[in-house]
Amino acid sequence: MQIPQKLKPTIEISVQYPEWEKLGDIYNIIKLTAKTALNSAILPKICIDRDLEISVVLANDDLVQILNREYRQKDKPTNILTFATLDSEEIPTSGVLNLGDIILSYETMERESQEKGTFMLDHIKHLTVHGVLHLLGYDHQTEDEANDMETLEIRILEQLGVQNPYTEMNF
């Protein structure tokens, strides 16, 4: 693994739920957030010197619940789903590397923001960073993995002007 040199990844965004449009320039917010995460993380060797691509779907609870049920066998909505290419059996070794898909649910994220007393855009940035790190192979299955991932998330979010999401109150 190596630290990247100013990557210029392609971030494809698909809005599947119109409420996302109410958040202002959500396209550029997501793109800047994802690019900052990619440029701040340690990349797997297969990503080095490759053009990288990420797909982000801005969805609602209904779509996320369907995907969660079909691919994770959990029949409920969640805030984020990621589908990482690096988790697959065959990873392309040349050309553009699509790291995978991040699917965000507006309704769940809005509810969580209200419950936690956080700004919606800060929560979106946090989960976008979280999703990008998952696409790169970061995880939180063990306490050490969780600590490493959370520390990196906090550092990246700091660059984006977002307070530590793991504290009690964020505004």
Neighbours of 28 (CB within 10 A): 11
Task: Read off the pTM.
Answer: 0.92
pLDDT at res. 124: 98
pLDDT at res. 48: 87
Residues of the chain with pLDDT under 70: 1-5, 168-171
pLDDT at res. 34: 97
CA distance 119 to 122: 5
Strands 97-105 and 10-15: unpaired
Distances (CA, A) of 51 to 57, 132, 153, 164, 168: 20, 15, 23, 30, 38
pLDDT at res. 5: 52
CATH architecture for segment(s) 10-159: 3-Layer(aba) Sandwich (3.40)
In 3D, which of 144, 23, 134, 125 has the Cα closest to residue 86?
Answer: 134
